[in-house]
Structure 1
Amino acid sequence: MAIRHLRTAFASQYQPGQPARLQAGEAFAEPGGDYESLHKQMKRLFNSKPGKKYGRFSDEIGECPFSSWLKDYLEDKQSFGSMTDRLFGQWQELLNGCQEEFQGHLMIVHEALADSEVVYLLILESDSALRFDGNQTLDATDVLSLSRLNLAVRIELDDWRSDNSAENYLTLVHGRGTGEPGELFIRLAGFTNQVDVEKETVTFLDAVEAFAKSSEPEKAGEVRSKAYEFCKEQHALGEPVEIEALSGYLDESEPQRFKEFASKTTELPESGVLHPDHRKVKKLVRIAGSGGGMSVSFSSDLVNQAVYYDRDQDALTITRLPKALREQLQRYLETREE
Structure 2
Amino acid sequence: MAIKQLRVTFASQMQPGQEAQVRPGKPLSEPGGDYEGLHKQLKRLFNARPGKKYGRFTDDIGTSPASAWLRDYIEGKLGFESLTDKLFGQWQELLTSSQEEYYGHLMLVHEALADGEVLYLFALESDSALRLDHEQALDATDVLSTSRLNLALRLEVEDWLGDHPSENFLTLVHARGTGEPGELFIRLCGFTNQVDVEKETLTFLNAVEAFAAQTEEPEKAGQVRSKAYEFCKEQHALGEPVAIEALSGYLDEDQPERFQTFASESQDIPADAVLHPDHRKVKKLVRISGSGGGMSVSFSSDLVNQAVYYDRENDALTITKLPKALREQLQRYLEARQEGGEQ
Fold conserved between structures, TM > 0.5: yes
> Given that residues 124 and 144 in structure 1 are in contact (C-alpha distance below 8 angstroms), is that contact kept between their aligned partners in structure 2?
yes
Q: Letter of the aligned partner of 2:112 in structure 1? A: A
Q: Letter of the aligned partner of 2:58 in structure 1? A: S
Are 2:236 and 1:232 equivalent residues in the alignment?
no
Matches within 5 A, 1:144-223: 144-217=144-217, 218-223=219-224
Matches within 5 A, 1:5-24: 5-24=5-24
SS in 1 for 2:87: helix
Are 2:79 and 1:79 equivalent residues in the alignment?
yes
> Given that residues 2 and 30 in structure 1 are in contact (C-alpha distance below 8 angstroms), is that contact kept between their aligned partners in structure 2?
no
> Given that residues 128 and 141 in structure 1 are in contact (C-alpha distance below 8 angstroms), is that contact kept between their aligned partners in structure 2?
yes
The aligned residue for residue 255 of structure 1 is 256
The aligned residue for residue 265 of structure 1 is 266
Matches within 5 A, 1:31-110: 31-110=31-110
Cα deviations by residue, 1:301-337 (Å, 9 ceiling, x for unpaired): 1112221212122111222222333333334334444
Q: Residues of 1 paired with 2:272 and 2:155: CA distance? A: 18
SS in 2 for 1:205: helix
Q: Which is further off, 186-195 or 326-335?
A: 326-335
The Cα of 1:189 is off from its aligned counterpart by 0.5
> Given that residues 307 and 319 in structure 2 are in contact (C-alpha distance below 8 angstroms), is that contact kept between their aligned partners in structure 1?
yes
SS in 1 for 2:60: coil
SS in 2 for 1:51: coil
Are 2:30 and 1:2 equivalent residues in the alignment?
no
Q: Residues of 1 paired with 2:58 and 2:222: CA distance? A: 42
Q: Which is further off, 115-124 or 17-26?
A: 17-26
> Given that residues 244 and 272 in structure 2 are in contact (C-alpha distance below 8 angstroms), is that contact kept between their aligned partners in structure 1?
no
Q: Residues of 2 paired with 1:151 and 1:135: CA distance? A: 38
SS in 2 for 1:26: coil
The aligned residue for residue 325 of structure 1 is 326
Cα deviations by residue, 1:190-249 (Å, 9 ceiling, x for unpaired): 101111111111111111011001124231110000000000000000000010110001
Q: Letter of the aligned partner of 1:126 in structure 2? A: S
Q: Could you tell me the TM-score, scaled by structure 2's length?
A: 0.95
The Cα of 1:103 is off from its aligned counterpart by 1.7
Cα deviations by residue, 1:267-291 (Å, 9 ceiling, x for unpaired): 3257411111111111110001111
SS in 2 for 1:47: helix
Q: Residues of 2 paired with 1:93 and 1:219: CA distance? A: 58
Cα–Cα, structure 1 residues 309 and 76, in superposed 2: closer, same or farther, change >3 Å? same
Q: Residues of 2 paired with 1:269 and 1:58: CA distance? A: 26
- Which consecutive unaligned segments of at least 5 residues does structure 1 have? none
The Cα of 1:17 is off from its aligned counterpart by 2.1
SS in 2 for 1:297: strand
Cα deviations by residue, 1:28-59 (Å, 9 ceiling, x for unpaired): 00212100000000000000011111100111
Q: Residues of 2 paired with 1:146 and 1:335: CA distance? A: 48
Q: Letter of the aligned partner of 1:51 in structure 2? A: G
Q: Which is further off, 311-320 or 257-266?
A: 311-320
The aligned residue for residue 294 of structure 1 is 295
SS in 2 for 1:44: helix
Q: Residues of 1 paired with 2:287 and 2:101: CA distance? A: 42
Cα deviations by residue, 1:146-171 (Å, 9 ceiling, x for unpaired): 11001001000011012442100000
SS in 1 for 2:313: coil
> Given that residues 261 and 271 in structure 2 are in contact (C-alpha distance below 8 angstroms), is that contact kept between their aligned partners in structure 1?
no
SS in 2 for 1:142: strand
Aligned residues, how many?
Answer: 338
Q: Residues of 2 paired with 1:330 and 1:96: CA distance? A: 65
Q: Letter of the aligned partner of 1:264 in structure 2? A: E
Q: Letter of the aligned partner of 1:287 in structure 2? A: I
- Which consecutive unaligned segments of at least 5 residues does structure 2 have? none
What is the Cα-based RMSD across aligned positions, in Å?
Answer: 1.4
Q: Could you tell me the TM-score, scaled by structure 1's length?
A: 0.97
> Given that residues 127 and 142 in structure 1 are in contact (C-alpha distance below 8 angstroms), is that contact kept between their aligned partners in structure 2?
yes
> Given that residues 3 and 32 in structure 1 are in contact (C-alpha distance below 8 angstroms), is that contact kept between their aligned partners in structure 2?
no
Q: Residues of 2 paired with 1:270 and 1:150: CA distance? A: 34
> Given that residues 42 and 149 in structure 1 are in contact (C-alpha distance below 8 angstroms), is that contact kept between their aligned partners in structure 2?
yes
> Given that residues 235 and 278 in structure 1 are in contact (C-alpha distance below 8 angstroms), is that contact kept between their aligned partners in structure 2?
yes
SS in 2 for 1:214: coil
> Given that residues 203 and 267 in structure 1 are in contact (C-alpha distance below 8 angstroms), is that contact kept between their aligned partners in structure 2?
no
Cα–Cα, structure 1 residues 140 and 327, in superposed 2: closer, same or farther, change >3 Å? farther
Q: Letter of the aligned partner of 2:96 in structure 1? A: N
The Cα of 1:140 is off from its aligned counterpart by 1.0
